[in-house]
Structure 1
Amino acid sequence: MSDAIFTLDAEVRTDLGKGASRRLRHTGKVPAIIYGAGKEPVALTLEHNKVIQAQEFEAFYSHVLTINIDGKPVEALVKDMQRHPFKPKVTHIDFQRIVAGEKLHTNVPVHFINEDACKGIKLEGGHAEHHVNDIEVTCLPKDLPEFIEVDLAEVALGQTLHLSDITLPSGVESVELSKGEDHDLAVVTVKAAKGGAAESDDEADAEGTED
């Protein structure tokens, strides 16, 4: 994937307010703000076309981006993105500045792999029920993964994988697990398919006892 996807050019904007933001959008611009790292928030303007291209990649939301603000590079994460309710338009972006030696908190998407080879699905007729789409983590910017893999190959029917069962990349910690065992959230469960063989047998037994 090209590093250009993770680099955006921005300009500082001084014309603030809803009316100003509306005018910017009409000229193909996206209003944004960048904050954090102990510095004052700065209002920005970005090219809408470049943002639309970049946001199509999942990694855009969990990757450390380079925002060139009036030519000066600043590392940041996307913290929030607002969209038009029905048009393919981004209406506002919040960025958080990143400091190289300081840990950050963010959500990283989960990729469920080997679902088609899963023991509980392929051999036992179950299906995977995903409980989360991302995991909140803390790590240094250099250790931030684009995604976290959850391997379903050996998961049996009726089994649930929790956060404690997931192998996180080196240097990455689960925010929820750091709060204690009570926060060991379920990630995925392989459940019996509705109307499966087990349910059919139960229904047949019930019908047989009605006579």
Structure 2
Amino acid sequence: MAEIKIAAENRTEFGKGAARRIRRSDKVPAVLYGSGIDPTHITLPGHDLALALKNSNALLSIALGSDTHLCIPKQVQRDPLRGVIEHADLLLVKKGQKVTVDIRVHLVGEALPEALVVTENSTISVEAEATHIPESVEVSIEGLEVGSQIHAVDLDLPAGSSLAIPEDWLIVNIVAAPTAEEIEAELEEAEAEAGIEHDLSDEDIAAAAEAEDVEGEGEGAEGEPTEGGESSEGAPDGGDSED
């Protein structure tokens, strides 16, 4: 990974008010630490830092006065709404030094049509040289069938990298894709639990009205008067009568 050079300035003001003033000038407060030295408080140009940190494991070359420091981002705070960087902690590293970082799992290929691909872990931790941190690891799912699994030990890591997680960690799980009926049933169950009710469609309303009409006709047929004015229900047998 190539070094990304950024010019920094020493920071002498601290506190929330000072941080707000720094951000208003399109800069970001940051801290350099590690390698057995005291933390150094700096400010960085916001635009340059944002571009550099599009890769979460970017190798930064921070120019501060006459000195240059190699570092990697360790913790980055962003505004939850705007997504802009508010503060950055940068870990000082040296060439040849091993560091533990998280890298993305990138799936390539397609599983069989009846299979559903479940990514159990979208990132993994690896140990790599600070100046050779991989951006991601590729995982092929081409032609995999239901029941297939890919564990950490199955990954083909970039040269110079090693796992920093247990080998039996499940990365990708291939399961049977749900049917349309199963999806609809799960949706209806979730909506019922959430108390969501839907208005009836015109077709549903018409079907319900027709069912009521049929039921009403069936009830009206019972107990209709006979020709003699007597109800068919409970009609006399036509036998004996009293004088």
Please tell me the TM-score bracket, short chain as reference.
0.7 to 0.9
Q: Would you say how many aligned residue pairs link Structure 1 and Structure 2? A: 183
Contact kept? 2:52, 2:58, Cα under 8 Å: no
Question: Could you tell me how far 1:41 is from its partner in structure 2?
Answer: 0.9
Distance 1:86 1:152, change over 3 A: same
* Residue correspondence of structure 1 range 8-157 to structure 2 within 5 A: 8-55=6-53, 57=54, 60-114=55-109, 117-118=110-111, 121-122=112-113, 125-157=114-146
Instruction: State the distance in 2 between where 1:110 and 1:48 align.
Output: 28
Out of 168-177 and 75-84, give the one that drifted further.
168-177
Instruction: State the distance in 1 between where 2:50 and 2:98 align.
Output: 28
Q: Which amino acid aligns with 1:132?
A: N
Match of 1:190 in 2: 174
Question: Could you tell me how far 1:11 is from its partner in structure 2?
Answer: 1.1
Q: Residue deviations 1:64-109, cap 9 Å, x none?
A: 2212223522111111111112124210111101111221111112
Question: Could you tell me how far 1:30 is from its partner in structure 2?
Answer: 0.5
- The question of 1:167 aligning with 2:162 is answered no
Q: TM-score scaled to structure 2, two decimals?
A: 0.69
Question: Could you tell me how far 1:196 is from its partner in structure 2?
Answer: 6.4
Q: Which amino acid aligns with 1:75?
A: L
Q: Which amino acid aligns with 2:118?
A: E
CA RMSD between the two structures: 2.3
Instruction: State the distance in 1 between where 2:13 and 2:148 align.
Output: 55
Structure 2 unpaired stretches of 5+: 184-243
Question: Could you tell me how far 1:143 is from its partner in structure 2?
Answer: 3.3
Contact kept? 1:137, 1:173, Cα under 8 Å: yes
Instruction: State the distance in 1 between where 2:49 and 2:97 align.
Output: 27
Contact kept? 1:63, 1:145, Cα under 8 Å: no
Distance 1:196 1:156, change over 3 A: farther
Is the partner of 1:143 in helix, strand or coil? coil
Distance 1:63 1:87, change over 3 A: closer
Structure 1 unpaired stretches of 5+: 201-211
Instruction: State the distance in 1 between where 2:176 and 2:60 align.
Output: 42
Runs of 4+ in 1 over 6 A off after TM superposition: none
Question: Could you tell me how far 1:160 is from its partner in structure 2?
Answer: 1.4
